[in-house]
Amino acid sequence: GDSVTQMEGPVTLSEEAFLTINCTYTATGYPSLFWYVQYPGEGLQLLLKATKADDKGSNKGFEATYRKETTSFHLEKGSVQVSDSAVYFCASHLGSGNTGKLIFGQGTTLQVKP
């Protein structure tokens, strides 16, 4: 079945370090891909998304490129801040007929130290 796999955490970085969180997916079709962020004690917020191959989603300095050939959607940021400390979820979603079925990875905890 369809699934999303993320690198295991926690990931601990120093402020201004480069961040990569790996995400790969399996799907029978061509899903839309998302990154969500969850700050402590809060719900999930959409960080960025890409709906087709080679699309790049970006927001708040974070980027991810939809790579069909490697079935990947890795999250990157050039210089992390302490305020980026959170749990990051990669997710996939197939088109109409599957609305409401967002498939999540297991989440990766990021801790940024000053």
Partner 1 sequence: NAGVTQTPKFQVLKTGQSMTLQCAQDMNHEYMSWYRQDPGMGLRLIHYSVGAGITDQGEVPNGYNVSRSTTEDFPLRLLSAAPSQTSVYFCAVVGFNYGYTFGSGTRLTVV
**Shortest CB 59 distance to partner 1, Å:** 13
- CB closer to partner 1, 68 vs 101: 101
Residue 67 in 3-state DSSP?
strand
Residue 58 burial class via C-beta count within 10 angstroms: exposed 0-12, middle 13-18, buried 19 and up: middle
Q: What is the distance between the alpha carbons of residues 6 and 63, in angstroms, rounded to a whole number? A: 16
**What's the token pair of residue 27?**
């799907």
Q: What is the distance between the alpha carbons of residues 65 and 75, in angstroms, rounded to a whole number? A: 8
65-104 binders of partner 1 (CB under 8 A) = 89, 93, 99-104
**Shortest CB 13 distance to partner 1, Å:** 21
Q: Mask: binding to partner 1, 21-40, rule CB under 8 A, as x and -? A: -----------x-x-x----
Name the site residues for partner 1 (rule: CB under 8 A).
4, 32, 34, 36, 42-46, 49, 51, 89, 93, 99-107
